[in-house]
Amino acid sequence: MEKASHTKPDADTEPAIAASVEKFDVLVTAEEAYPAFERAFLTARSEIIASFRVIDLATRLRSPEARKIGTTWMDLLIHTLDRGVAVRLVTSDFDPVAAPELHQVAWRTLRQIAAVRELTRNPSLINFTLALHDARTGTLPRLILYPIVRHKMNQLARTWTEMSEAERQRFRIETPRLQKICFEDSNGRLCFPWRPVDLYPATHHQKMAVFDRETLYIGGLDLNERRYDTKRHRRAAERTWHDIQAIATGPVAQAAQAHLESFLDSVAGRAAPPSAAPGFLRTLSRRRRGMPLRLAPKTVLREIETQHIEAVARARHLIYLETQFLRHLPLARALERRARACPGLRLIVVLPAAPEDAAFDSNQGLDLRYGEYQQVRCLTQLQRAFGSDRFLVASPVQPRGTESDGRDALEDAPLIYVHSKVSIFDDFGAILSSANLNGRSMRWDTEAGLYLDQPAHVEELRRRVMGHWLPPQSGAAYLDPQSAFGHWRRLVESNSALPPCQRQGFLVRYDSDAARDIATPVPGMPEEVV
């Protein structure tokens, strides 16, 4: 296995930043996070630097303070610039073949920023970068993967035939990278020449902002209407979105600032990343040059993975993992080793009942099936290591019934889609980040997060994150690392046996049967792909 270095080998390392978390506030769902984010913009004095995977400036403002100056984030951004606050924003661009919808969303944001520049009194204060990760696949993987790529091209061509002329015109404008590899024939059909194209295996997945070099907003939540949900989760399953964000102050904000100022250069191989800083965690990778046989980028930093494995090795009573995906085999193996070494250790995992595209888009593509294979493999390994008396996997559902028999429902109730990324280890440590527990987040994509080691911060995160799923009458024993597991297991088993309207809290048993039915290994494919 290749070792990941913390710096570029041929570059000097920058001086370390002594970082720690001081003030710490947990934000549960966008109902809490979006107003807090808006207030941070309103109170910024001189500068804001941010990086998100997705930002839509048409997102509605939620806080009373922000609604006094407008209705959307475009209004808030213009207001911020007009006050003389400099804003530097990076959003992700995407592989135009593998993720054409996200590529289109990214360039729509670019058009929104162009409108902001036209409307603000201080256009020079906005610095916007639409960033495609620098990594590319080698020549041989492009040839091997070409049948899969060709299938996606054919899907795009079919989608094109169903578009109106107005939709086609917008699609042309908002997919410039795609337009470079296709053309319209004389009959108006979208055609792709028979030749391999560049593939971009990694992306910038972090979601964070720093205000005046003092205050950090960080976690798993991007900014658009799809990601808005309330803590009650009483809406159609496809509109639910559970996420965790936080606001932190202290030297950790300076470490985050240094990361945001440098990560594009680090990924491009132009500079070394800043040295590791206590409390701040990253994943970074960069392009492999002169290596035509390799699909994967070169991992530069994997601090989030390392901190997880180190914390697992210290845990004695309870590990709590709340994540969109649990697919990273090295983490599963670390948990397995600790389960055998520490018989008193218990593990609670909270997962969405199904991946988003399986639940709401009925996708059964190879990428989904390979991802399900990896998750089933990890869960099976953990079940064998811990046993049913020490291992619990739960999924949240709404307290109402549904007639759906698809993957958007579980135990006769609409699912609540989990996108949060939180890991809690006894009472000594916790990780809150943008990173899923899969190889992509641990080793390929650009990710950022916090490691909390102050007991008060760990306790607050556990109270807000774990407590969110519990019924109001739950006592302290449901959150105590030494007693929580038994209470959670009884609650989940009871809820799973009751009709939706009689359940307490949100949790029922996770059911892996649907995932097992479609799980497909792909020999030779890197695990980090999904």
* pLDDT single digits (tens) 304-321: 999 999 999 999 999 999
The pLDDT of residue 30 is 98
Mean of pLDDT values over 223-241: 97
> What residues contact 339, with CB distance under 8 A and at least 6 apart?
345, 347, 382, 385, 386, 390
Note down the domain range covering 174.
146-191
User: Looking at the predicted structure, is the pLDDT value of residue 13 above 60?
Assistant: no
414 located within any domain? yes
Q: Do 159 and 304 share a domain, yes or no?
A: no
Closest CA to 63 of 26, 27, 38, 33: 38
- Fill in the amino acid letter for 310: E
Report in angstroms the alpha-carbon separations of 483 from 1, 24, 85, 318, 442. Answer: 38, 26, 49, 9, 30
* Average pLDDT for the chain: 94
Lowest mean pLDDT among 109-113, 291-295, 336-340, 351-355: 291-295
At 421-433, the pLDDT tens digits run 999 999 999 999 9
| pLDDT tens for each residue of 504-522 | 999 999 999 999 999 999 9
- Calculate mean pLDDT across residues 134-150: 90
Residue 103 forms part of a structural domain: yes
Q: How many CA atoms lie within 13 A of 264 on its CB side?
A: 15
Given a contact cutoff of 8 angstroms between Cβ atoms, the answer to whether 391 and 382 are in contact is: yes
For residue 10, is it within any domain?
no
Please check whether residues 303 and 417 belong to one and the same domain.
yes
- 369 belongs to a structural domain: yes
Q: Could you give the 3-state DSSP secondary structure of residue 30? A: helix
Residue 296 lies in a domain: yes
13 inside domain: no
Residue 106 · residue 224 · CB < 8 Å: no
User: Is 125's pLDDT higher than 70?
Assistant: yes
Domain count, the chain: 3
Q: Sign of the C-alpha dihedral, residues 528, 221, 501, 415?
A: negative
Mean pLDDT of 337-366: 94
Does one domain contain both 184 and 214? no
Based on the fold, state whether residues 511 and 383 are members of the same structural domain.
yes
Q: Is residue 128 part of a domain?
A: yes
Alpha-carbon span 139 to 152, nearest angstrom: 19
Single-letter code of the amino acid located at 473 = Q
Predicted pLDDT at 12: 36
**Residue 409 and residue 221: Cα distance in Å, rounded?**
23
DSSP result, 441-479: IIIISBEEEEEE-SHHHHHHHHHHHHHHTS-TT--GGGT
Residues 123 and 162 in one domain: no
DSSP string, 90-146: EEE---TTT-HHHHHHHHHHHHHHHHHHHH-S-GGGEEEEEE--S----HHHHHHTH
Residues 89 and 225 grouped into a single domain = yes
How far apart are alpha carbons 512 and 391 in whole angstroms?
14
Residue recorded with tokens 């009871």: 494
Band the pLDDT of 108: cuts 50, 70, 90: very high
Give this prediction's pTM. Answer: 0.94
Do 212 and 346 belong together in one domain?
A: no
Indicate if 182 and 207 belong to the same structural domain.
no
Please tell me the predicted confidence (pLDDT) of residue 269: 94
Average confidence (pLDDT) over 481-497: 98
| Co-location of 112 and 178 in the same domain | no
Residue 128 is predicted with a pLDDT of 98
Output the CA torsion sign for 430, 434, 440, 443.
Answer: negative
pLDDT band at 156 (very low <50, low <70, confident <90, very high): very high
Does the pLDDT of residue 303 top 80, yes or no?
A: yes
Whether 208 and 354 share a structural domain: no
Which neighbouring-strand residues pair with 86? 47
Residue 12 lies in a domain: no
Same domain, 471 and 351: yes
Place of tokens 């054919």: 154
Residues 396 and 466 in one domain: yes
CATH of residue 32's domain is: 3.30.870.10
